[in-house]
Amino acid sequence: MLEFFNLTQTIHIIVIVGSMSLFTIGLYGVFTQKQLVKVLVSFSMMEMAVFLFFIGLHYKESFTAPILDNNIQTFTNMVDPVPQAMILTTIVIGLAILALALSFGIEYFKLTGTNDISKMNELKD
Amino acid sequence: MNLKKDLRIKHIFLSLLSSILMISIVSILFNIKTDLHQSVGELFLAINMETASANAVTTVVTFFRGLDTLGEVTVLFLATTGISLMLSSAKRVHDKVIEQESFILNIGSKLLLSVIVLFGVYIIVHGHLSPGGGFQGGVVIASAFLLLFLANPNMNLNHSILTFGESISGVSYVLVGLIGLFKLNILFGNFLPHSISQIGDLISGGIIPIIYIIVGIKVGSEITVIIEYFIKREAQNA
């Protein structure tokens, strides 16, 4: 019964549905939230969904992580290392961008005293 | 009352819109018939043994795509510069004394600091042998300093050491790439000895562990700077 969950197809379906659900929750947050910090956290959630999607879609049945150890001596039957390396750098970039956006938000709150994105209309005047 | 009803209708409409988008994305993804197994990763895995690094992800990050990692570290540096520009405009809280924390918290955080930093250094140094590396270990080291800041808000870091670590790691990253260019005519060429028989040893893989150690120093010092700016900022507002 539990063998079913090791199949590549099953894992792919779970990854697609789960990560896109997380993406949708983040999208809903971006649509509806008024606080700037909540909007930024929603963007971060959408980012995480894309990370999960990229990593999970390269799962293959009976393939191992691309690292040698005492039992695995050759680079065969291993999953693709490129998406993992790409997501590794992207996570750090996402962290830096989130911190930069939060610092902009803090400065905006200090200047105007509001954190509500529906009241941000300085460019209109 | 009317406003509340309006808001609820808007929320229901937006959640419906999000669900429709999700269903369409998922149905598109289910209908893709492309074979993901034919990729550049197969080629990388085939020639990975020549680099004498036991971790293929580390090899891709630091060696095959070393120039991209340099650009990524540059983006991190620019983000740190922007944060320091935004958050350091107001005067800092050096002389404002916040209430002293308890003795156990103070000493315990300092004891834990050394253990966490040691763990971070272990993750960085073993980046080419096991899961881990410069980015992860750097963030672990920064988390040790976050603990120190949370336990003792009056603490001030020595900024010259942080700036020195940040700049020396950036310069040495470029230097390693340029030495490879001059000796082997390849940017980020592996100019140090890397024999395949040494695979799995701590000293193996030529420049791969060196680049990851540099990345670890850079990420650790930069994230520590970011944490410090945010924590000091909060202390000022309180």
Question: Is position B17 within any domain?
Answer: no
Q: What is the ipTM of this complex?
A: 0.84
Question: Is position B113 within any domain?
Answer: yes
Q: How many CB atoms are located within 10 Å of the residue B5 CB?
A: 9
Structure tokens at A41: 């956290």
Q: The whole model's pTM is what? A: 0.85
User: CB–CB of B116/B141 below 8 Å?
Assistant: yes
pLDDT of residue A58: 84
User: Tokens 């191992």, residue?
Assistant: A64
Full domain range(s) for residue B189: 33-237
Structure tokens at A65: 């992580």
State the amino acid at position B22 in one-letter form: M
Task: Determine the Cα–Cα distance for residues B58 and B61; give it in Å rounded to an integer.
Answer: 5
Measured in whole angstroms, how far is the alpha carbon of residue A97 from the centre of its chain? 13
Task: Inspect the interface and report whether the beta carbons of B135 and A92 lie closer than 8 Å.
Answer: yes
Residues 6+ apart with CB under 8 A from A91: A51, B135
Question: Is position B21 within any domain?
Answer: no
User: CB–CB of B79/B225 below 8 Å?
Assistant: no
- Write out the DSSP string of B174-193: HHHHHHHHHHHSSTT---S-
- Among the ranges given (B26-35, B124-133, B162-171), the one the predictor scored with the smallest mean pLDDT: B26-35
pLDDT of residue B238: 45
Task: Determine the Cα–Cα distance for residues B230 and B55; give it in Å rounded to an integer.
Answer: 35
Task: Determine the Cα–Cα distance for residues A22 and A18; give it in Å rounded to an integer.
Answer: 6
Task: Determine the Cα–Cα distance for residues B62 and B55; give it in Å rounded to an integer.
Answer: 11
Q: Residue B6 to residues A33, A43, B9, B154, B167: CA-CA distances in angstroms?
A: 15, 25, 5, 48, 54
Q: Residue B61 to residues A82, B57, B209: CA-CA distances in angstroms?
A: 8, 6, 11
> Is 70 exceeded by the pLDDT of residue B3?
no
Q: What is the pLDDT of residues B61-105, one digit of tens each?
A: 888 888 899 999 999 999 999 998 888 765 555 555 566 678 888
From B25, which residue of chain A is nearest by alpha-carbon distance?
Answer: A20
Question: Is position B171 within any domain?
Answer: yes
Structure tokens at B39: 């990729």
From the list B56, B69, B75, the residue facing A81 with the nearest CB is: B56
Read off φ and ψ for residue B165, nearest 5 degrees.
-60, -40
Task: Inspect the interface and report whether the beta carbons of A89 and B14 lie closer than 8 Å.
Answer: no
Helix, strand, coil % in chain B, rounded to nearest 5 = 70, 0, 30
Distance from CA of B232 to the nearest CA of A (A): 12
Question: Is position B8 within any domain?
Answer: no
Question: Is position B28 within any domain?
Answer: no
Report the domain count for chain B.
1
From A68, which residue of chain B is nearest by alpha-carbon distance?
Answer: B54
pLDDT confidence tier of residue B190, bands split at 50, 70 and 90: confident
Question: Is position B190 within any domain?
Answer: yes
Q: Which of A64-68, B93-97, B234-238 has the highest mean pLDDT?
A: A64-68
Question: Is position B61 within any domain?
Answer: yes
Task: Determine the Cα–Cα distance for residues A27 and B21; give it in Å rounded to an integer.
Answer: 10
Structure tokens at B110: 């300092």
Quick check: B59 contacting A, CB < 8 Å? yes
Quick check: B20 contacting A, CB < 8 Å? no
> Is 60 exceeded by the pLDDT of residue B141?
yes
> Is 90 exceeded by the pLDDT of residue B217?
yes
From the list B36, B69, B139, the residue facing A89 with the nearest CB is: B69
Task: Inspect the interface and report whether the beta carbons of B86 and A65 lie closer than 8 Å.
Answer: no
Residues 6+ apart with CB under 8 A from B170: B73, B77, B218
